[in-house]
Amino acid sequence: MELVDEALVKADTTYEVLVAIDEPELPATTSGQVRGYVCFGATPMTEATFDLYWIVVDAVVRGRGLGSLLLGAVETDLRRRGARTLRIETSSLEGQGGAAAFYRRNAYEQVGHIADFYREGDDLLTFAKRL
């Protein structure tokens, strides 16, 4: 949440955030309940490339497509701004491999793999999508 707070408060931050609030089909227990967010930003020393830093979906609504909606909203926004590529790094163990499957389902290609990057048996996977 530190990246989200920074993006929402500071105008000069390198991070941008999109937030999803209250899903219509759920009974809202608290008005304005955050159900998910995505944090992204321009990749330093590149032209028209962006990094996806975090995509988080509330466990209550996970599996209902909110993550794909948030990712799609980022892609749409970046296309309008002339971005060419969205890049994502993740652990091979993240979500027991669920993160990699999620990115593949959303048409991201695995473009990099560094074995034992985080620790023994936990590889760095890099995904990218041409926008």
- 57-99 confidence digits (pLDDT tens): 988 888 899 999 999 999 999 999 999 999 999 999 987 779 9
> Beta strand pairing status for 49-57 and 85-91?
parallel
- 5-43 confidence digits (pLDDT tens): 665 665 666 789 988 877 555 555 555 678 899 999 999
Please give the model's pTM, rounded to 2 decimal places: 0.82
77-81's contacts with Cβ under 8 Å and 24+ in sequence apart are 77/18, 78/40, 78/50, 78/131, 79/131
CATH number at residue 29: 3.40.630.30
Domain span at 37: 2-130
- Distance, in Å, from the CA atom of 25 to the CA atom of 106, rounded to the nearest integer, reads 23
- Distance, in Å, from the CA atom of 111 to the CA atom of 100, rounded to the nearest integer, reads 12
- Distance, in Å, from the CA atom of 64 to the CA atom of 87, rounded to the nearest integer, reads 24
Domain count, the chain: 1
